[in-house]
Amino acid sequence: MSRKMLIGGELSHQAEAEEHYDFDLFVIGAGSGGVRASRFSASHGAKVGICELPFDPISSEVIGGIGGTCVIRGCVPKKILVYGATFGPELQDARSFGWDVNEKVDFDWKKLLQKKTDEIVRLNGIYKRLLTNSGVKMYEGEGKIVGPHEVEVTQLDGTKVCYSAKHILIATGSRAVIPDIPGKELGITSDEALSLEEFPKRVVVLGGGYIAVEFASIWNGMGAKVDLCFRRELPLRGFDDEMRAVVSRNLEGRGITLHPTTNLTELIKTENGIKVITDHGEELLADAVLFATGRAPNSKRLNLKAVGVEVDKHGSVKVDNYSRTTVPSIWAVGDVTNRMNLTPVALMEGSYFANTVFGGEPTKPDYNYVPYAVFCIPPLSVVGLSEEEAVEKAKGDILVYTSSFNPMKNTISGRQEKTVMKLVVDGNTQKVIGASMCGPDAPEIMQGIAVALKCGATKQQFDSTVGIHPSAAEEFVTMRTISRKIEVGSKLKTNL
């Protein structure tokens, strides 16, 4: 029996007999990318094995779980907490809509956490069944590459078993980074934040990225006093500056205290809580201090250098356009490669790996027009280029359309919080090359906008589309007036 595979960049028939290897593919890491690659490779007829660390909500170098970060200690449990946090402000707003809500409304943190844990246990079981039903052989333990075609799995009892494979896929994801400051052991990462036994009434969050603003919103919505410290003038570096300013205003408007251009220098345990010292000499008291200061690839324990797999200075596995490492038989997908660290992107990379290696269809992942969201309250969602990126890459004029309005719901509740939408248009082609929105339901709306941008939609096509009324989404097809025009070669000006 022969199977078409990608060898040396060319498709050819497998020369060696299958008996030379235990598996056609062995995957280290059963997160989103690893599970997808395993299942799709098996569907192409490959014999697949996969190993994953034992399950626990809080990860470590020797703890993981089938389903990976997103399912167990990332996107899914976080979104459950976001839902829980949203009810706090919604209950306040409900009074204006005729609901007689008592002044004192109790929130049971432990009840929500138990529901969250029940859900991730359920999903962990579903992922196991998906692999089993696909014919993938699962092994519980820590995987390490000991040769171009050999993986060593350290089982839970400490015994080591080796398996040979024609191809090896690294899909080990990433882990939270803890800053090296005095008292760092008093802080927590997002792992622990999702499993705290007691609800923290006072929280200090260090960081300005997704995780920082999301957890600041979560705890604030549940009634905690939140201080958010970040090193830049605005949170969410890398996003559109105008939308960063909108998020910043919303966070403050909901009662979160922002500390821009601020870092933490020391944590001290006291009888009244954790004393947090900033680099400006401020002292804050907290029940919990969250470090949301980035993530690092899980590559240190894989023995990569010994087998010739190159990594960069951060430990990210170097791959080519097809996810192949510097060793032809070893591949990598997901956060461990540090390309675009999003769960749906890892799924894409895993799918395309399977197509390339076992499906006879070499396919490069396409990172253009990937939509993403920050689940702060209210959320921010974007697709395509920010205004800054568009100006930097422009070969012609850039046209910017914006809309800022008070959502209908807020006109009744009295909440002073505007929704902001934005379209970035290439002046030469009239194609919409960027879209962003901060406001209720932004991620749900942006998923549909992403399809339009992926298809190359023009501003005229947006304008000719009939809106749904009354909705916030209709604003995307009714923005007729140019907010500003940035001529090619000129400097960007925004009203921050």
Is residue 171 within 8 Å of residue 28, measured between CB atoms? yes
Fill in the DSSP letter of residue 363.
-
Annotated binding residue at 366? no
Distance, CA of 478 to CA of 203 (rounded, Å):
41
Q: Is 442 annotated as a binding residue?
A: no
Q: How far is CA 346 from CA 32, 343, 424, in A?
A: 6, 5, 27
Q: Residue 83, annotated ligand binder?
A: no
> Binding residue per annotation — 173?
yes
Determine if residue 294 is labeled as part of a ligand binding site: yes
> Measuring CA to CA, which residue among 468, 457, 392, 395 is closest to residue 423?
457
Q: Does the annotation flag 213 for ligand binding?
A: yes
Q: Is 143 annotated as a binding residue?
A: yes
Q: How far apart are alpha carbons 263 and 265 in whole angstroms? A: 7
Identify whether the C-beta of residue 126 lies closer than 8 Å to the C-beta of residue 68. Answer: no
User: Is 486 assigned to a binding site?
Assistant: no
Helix (H) or strand (E) holding 5: strand 4-7
Alpha-carbon distance of 163 to 137, in angstroms, equals 12
Cis before residue 365, ω within 30 degrees of 0? no
Residue 79 assigned ligand-binding role? yes
Residue 368, SS3? coil
Q: Which helix (H) or strand (E) holds 246?
A: helix 241-253
Separation of alpha carbons 166 and 41, rounded Å: 13
| DSSP symbols for 151-219 | EEEEETTS-EEEEEEEEEEE---EEE-----TTGGG-B-HHHHTT-SS--SEEEEE--SHHHHHHHHHH
Residue 315 labelled as part of a binding site: no
Question: From CA 447, how far away is CA 67, in angstroms rounded?
Answer: 23
DSSP 35: H
DSSP string, 289-310: EEE---EEES-GGG-HHHHT--
Q: Is 214 one of the annotated binding-site residues?
A: yes
Distance CA 283, CA 269 (A): 13
Q: Is 188 annotated as a binding residue?
A: no
Say whether 386 counts as a known binding-site residue: no
Separation of alpha carbons 371 and 76, rounded Å = 17
The whole-angstrom separation of Cα 43 and Cα 87 is: 42
Question: What one-character DSSP code corresponds to residue 337?
Answer: G
Strands 380-384 and 372-374: antiparallel
What residues act catalytically? 469
Feature table: binding site for NAD(+): 207-214, 294
Residue ranges for the binding site?
79, 143, 172-174, 207-214, 294, 335
Residues annotated in a binding site for FAD: 79, 143, 172-174, 335
